[in-house]
Structure 1
Amino acid sequence: MFKRNKRISLLQYWTSRYLLTLFIGLAIISLISAAWIRHTTFENRLEMMEFLADETVYRLTDNSGLSNGPFNGIPGFIRDRERFTMREIDPILYVVDTKGNIITSNRPVPPGSAKNVVSMLDGEEGTKELTIGLEPVQYVVKRKIENSQELIGWVLVVEKKANLTRVNQAYGQLAILIGALALLGWVAIYFLSKRLARPIKQVAAAAKQVQEGSYSVDLPQDSKEKEVYELVTSFENMAQKLEQLEKTRTELLAGVTHELKTPVTSISGLLQAVKDGVVTGQDAMEFIDMAVVETTKMKTMVGDLLAFNHFAVDAIPVKLEPVNVNQLLREAVAQWEVMQEDDSVHVNLHLVDPAIHVHVDIVRIQQIMTNLLTNAKQSMDIGSVTLTLKEQGDTVSIIVTDTGRGIPVEDQAFVFERFYRGENKKYAIRGLGLGLPLSKMMAQSIGGDLKLIESHATGTSFELLLQKATTS
């Protein structure tokens, strides 16, 4: 059996990882800072030892010092280490003659030191690291004592390496600083993660609400972060869209049931009347004719459903060919007029001269024009529809304008939504609300498009865009 991964909260997840990253970063900074402090302190103390050696040589060789003998004790300034800001170390200062005999020192000379001092005189003056026997590593600063360019002795400043690199106080200050930064970073990370987690938790709670079937979500819109604001607003828009789709689905089920039930009931009643002999002779034939009409209507609605589903999954291929757009429009209008039972609506054509060829599927264009003209006729009792052709760069525009009642403003945004039927049509005209969505799909399948230009109380205008045929 596979174990399900344990889930932790976003706040805990990101806080722990941010803190881990912060502590690793601070640890690296601490090591680098400690090494830098150690190195800098070491260099500064070596410089102070060199300064002490140079100053001692200067005091021993100036005129006032030589007047009483060159080795008349170490000057008093040497004992005052505060002057040289050397409170952290306490180097040993030797003044020796050319043979290595210790003339004087700032400390009592321990037994055996004379031998070690002699070993320090090898080489030229300068600063070097020295190891004598088993003693700790020391640094020695050597300076010559000369009188009239004659070597008369040496100044040696000696200190253990451990003392030169000891910076306990600086390490303590660094630890306090790093600790303060860690605390400040933890507080900042905690509150930032909490601020980031809050809207996500709210969206997650709203998602559960939507999952349970309630689409009325209320999320705060005061997020300053662009991404969080887009997440919240997108989710609210999605919830509203789902609510609209759920409403449309419910209306679809009721509408399809009603629209299919009505002709089935009519057909059943008409045929039953003929069968039972309620009507005979010519009346029976009329009942049969009415049943055939109802059957045709039902067949049309089922065909619309099948066609829409096929177009929705790109299952219907289109056959594109170059066609004269003037001739295409005349044939589409003529075909529609033949199917009309009356001539209450007149169609006006405004064609282009010279004629233009478009790259289309003739059958699909005829279906689109039939849908547009039928919708136009349904919007008016008596009137006219005007079809205007316009050339627009690489496309040809067919504008279909009627003089009907228009589409209500609240319905205009949904005219291309599948199964959507406005209040004006819902109970007055039978249908499934697939005409315009299907027409738009067909237009897009041949590289064009179908748009609603405008609609008001005196008429509506749709625009069908078609691609020009390329000329070789």
Structure 2
Amino acid sequence: MSSKQNDYTTNTVSMLTYWTRRYVLVLLGSLLLLAVAAGIWIRISTYDHIYDMLELRAEQLVDLNGQAPEESEFSNRLRQMEERPHEPKHLFPEADIKKDDSSNRLETEAGPHEPRPPIPDVVHTVDTAGNIKIIKKYENEAIDTSALFAVPPSYQNVLAGENVRDQVNVASQTWLRIGVPVYQDGTICKALYISMPVDNQIRGPYGLLALLTGIITLAGWLVLYFLSRRLIHPLREVAAAAQSIAEGKYDPVLPQEVKERELQQLIESFRYMAAQLKQLEQLRSVLLAGVSHELRTPITSIRGMIQAVHNKIVTGAKAEEFLQISWNEAKRLQQMVEELLDFSSFEAGAAPIKGEPVNLSSLISEVIHQLSVLPEFSNIRFDAALPAEPVWLNGDAGRLRQMFLNLFDNSKKAAATLLRITFQIHDHRIMVDIEDNGKGIEATDQPFIFERFYRGSARQAIGRGLGLGLTISRLLAHAHGGDLVLLRTSPAGTTFRLSLTRSLK
């Protein structure tokens, strides 16, 4: 593989790598957004659940008969709860928690052998005078939890009969705290606060979320990686084939079996394009040789005959004949040069088309009369079914005449003895069929008859000029808002159809 092919392939692979990276970044960004949203949801749900659990424990510690227990009784109840068997070590109980309609307090429906919520870590009370009584301290003495025992800002709200939830930061940890009122003889006498650190409880779900995000990201990257590899291999071959065609090699090696339907369509289209380019390149080489021959022949003939007359090699009537042949060859050469100029002008869009009223029926009649008096058309009979009334269109009479002369001249070169012209008029469209009884167009030549410089097979190309007649005729038809097509052909004859736009005079 050449350096150009390596560069082209490298650029293609780099482009695929570029987009693969972008896809991975988009995937990672989307997963991060989902992870953040899930993390927020987990945080809110976990906090709510812990608050519900703390509120349940606080209600269990409060005297259910309306009698306010002393701090020693709180301690005894805590000790009884800690001594219960089957106490869970995890955060979320399997028991259902619900509100009791009669007491408006939380209770559990768990059976005697089912797990219960874990014991709170810190419990203290604050009476109406602001005196703080610590019921249970945090077991880890290395952490200073004194901030938990300050009089909370929500103290008055609890004494007013509200259950208060708040957060406290202690030693770089977040603690959740619930405050509930304690009643004595129907009157609130103190506030009970229960606190629990939440960081250890939420770290597990966060770790699981991070693990799942990492696994999904890795799986997505692997999928993209293997898919890109499957795409890169055939695209490398297509890129190498494109570079091969650019260097003039029209038989590239392309992948044979590709499972991806889109890639298979691309490869098939590329293979068809390569075959067409190869055929057109071969055609171009043949046509270039033919055009060179057609231009060189009259020049050589003119030069030789004029030199013979100039050097007195021929004299008299023979010299006159040589000069006449040279004159005819010069006219043929002029016609070929004019065809080249016309073709270049039309392809560049620089050929002006006059927009003037033209009676198409009258124009065709004039062309037929002009050709009928020429010796080369003496063996051709014209059968023109022209409308009696004028058929008007806006166009260039000279260019339309040139188009019909080209079509009639092609029929003459095909050894036709009959030329039939018929009209069809449909609303604003005019269709003119030019039918001859010539030898027709070979099947191998039919797809290329409107190609520039195409003159048919080598045997038929002799005397066919530059192969621009039909090309220029179709360009002229397009310039007049119409088209020229090969309607049908066979060994019994050929029919061309010219369609134009009709207009009112």
CA offsets 1:170-216 (integer angstroms, 9 cap, x no match): 22212211111121011011122223333332221012211221112
1:438 Cα shift? 0.8
Q: Within 2, Cα distance between the matches of 1:211 and 1:16?
A: 30
Q: Within 1, Cα distance between the matches of 2:368 and 2:171?
A: 114
Q: Is 1:258 the counterpart of 2:327 in the alignment?
A: no
> Residues 360 and 467 of structure 1 are in contact (CA less than 8 Å); yes or no, is this contact kept in structure 2?
no
CA offsets 1:346-369 (integer angstroms, 9 cap, x no match): 111112243321112111111111
Q: Within 1, Cα distance between the matches of 2:45 and 2:483?
A: 75
Q: Within 2, Cα distance between the matches of 1:117 and 1:336?
A: 120
Which of 343, 350, 356 aligns to 1:315? It is 350
Q: Within 1, Cα distance between the matches of 2:151 and 2:468?
A: 110
Q: Within 1, Cα distance between the matches of 2:138 and 2:203?
A: 28
Please name the residue that 2:195 is paired with.
159
Q: Within 1, Cα distance between the matches of 2:225 and 2:395?
A: 61
Please name the residue that 2:228 is paired with.
193
Which of 50, 56, 61 aligns to 2:61? It is 56
> Residues 34 and 171 of structure 1 are in contact (CA less than 8 Å); yes or no, is this contact kept in structure 2?
yes
Q: With the length of structure 2 as denominator, give the TM-score of the two structures.
A: 0.79
| Cα gap change, 1:44 to 1:470, in 2 (>3 Å) | farther
> Residues 486 and 496 of structure 2 are in contact (CA less than 8 Å); yes or no, is this contact kept in structure 1?
yes
CA offsets 1:116-174 (integer angstroms, 9 cap, x no match): 487785432312337699997754423344466355x55724214x4367422222212
Which of 121, 124, 128 aligns to 1:91? It is 121
Q: Within 2, Cα distance between the matches of 1:258 and 1:457?
A: 28
More displaced 10-residue stretch of structure 1: 432-441 or 74-83: 74-83
> Residues 166 and 178 of structure 2 are in contact (CA less than 8 Å); yes or no, is this contact kept in structure 1?
no
Please name the residue that 1:129 is paired with.
166
Note the aligned Cα RMSD (angstroms): 3.8
Q: With the length of structure 1 as denominator, give the TM-score of the two structures.
A: 0.84
Which of 371, 389, 398 aligns to 2:432? It is 398
Q: Secondary structure of the residue that 1:167 maps to in structure 2? A: helix
Match for 1:396: what amino acid? Answer: I
Q: Within 2, Cα distance between the matches of 1:444 and 1:173?
A: 71
Q: Within 2, Cα distance between the matches of 1:445 and 1:237?
A: 31
Q: Secondary structure of the residue that 2:449 maps to in structure 1? A: coil
| Cα gap change, 1:103 to 1:371, in 2 (>3 Å) | closer
> Residues 61 and 147 of structure 1 are in contact (CA less than 8 Å); yes or no, is this contact kept in structure 2?
no
Please name the residue that 2:468 is paired with.
434
Please name the residue that 1:287 is paired with.
322
CA offsets 1:205-263 (integer angstroms, 9 cap, x no match): 01221122111234336556665455434433443343233223212221122112222
Identity %, equivalent residues:
34
Please name the residue that 2:402 is paired with.
367
1:98 Cα shift? 6.9
Which of 226, 230, 246 aligns to 1:211? It is 246
Please name the residue that 1:466 is paired with.
500
Which of 9, 15, 35 aligns to 1:10? It is 15
More displaced 10-residue stretch of structure 1: 196-205 or 420-429: 420-429
> Residues 93 and 158 of structure 1 are in contact (CA less than 8 Å); yes or no, is this contact kept in structure 2?
yes
Q: Secondary structure of the residue that 1:55 maps to in structure 2? A: helix
> Residues 415 and 436 of structure 1 are in contact (CA less than 8 Å); yes or no, is this contact kept in structure 2?
yes
Please name the residue that 1:385 is paired with.
419
Please name the residue that 2:49 is paired with.
44
| Cα gap change, 1:95 to 1:302, in 2 (>3 Å) | closer
Q: Within 1, Cα distance between the matches of 2:450 and 2:209?
A: 69
Q: Secondary structure of the residue that 2:376 maps to in structure 1? A: coil
| 1:314-333 mapped onto 2 (5 Å cutoff) | 314-333=349-368
More displaced 10-residue stretch of structure 1: 432-441 or 118-127: 118-127
Gaps of 5+ in 1: none
Q: Within 2, Cα distance between the matches of 1:12 and 1:191?
A: 12
> Residues 175 and 198 of structure 2 are in contact (CA less than 8 Å); yes or no, is this contact kept in structure 1?
no
Q: Secondary structure of the residue that 1:466 maps to in structure 2? A: strand
Q: Within 2, Cα distance between the matches of 1:457 and 1:179?
A: 74
More displaced 10-residue stretch of structure 1: 301-310 or 72-81: 72-81
Q: Within 2, Cα distance between the matches of 1:121 and 1:255?
A: 107
| Cα gap change, 1:101 to 1:360, in 2 (>3 Å) | closer
CA offsets 1:366-425 (integer angstroms, 9 cap, x no match): 1111111111121125x2110001102211111000111111112111110001111276
> Residues 166 and 177 of structure 2 are in contact (CA less than 8 Å); yes or no, is this contact kept in structure 1?
yes
CA offsets 1:22-57 (integer angstroms, 9 cap, x no match): 333333433333333223211210111012222333
| 1:441-456 mapped onto 2 (5 Å cutoff) | 441-456=475-490
More displaced 10-residue stretch of structure 1: 116-125 or 262-271: 116-125
Q: Within 2, Cα distance between the matches of 1:108 and 1:450?
A: 98
Please name the residue that 1:74 is paired with.
77
Gaps of 5+ in 2: 1-6, 94-115
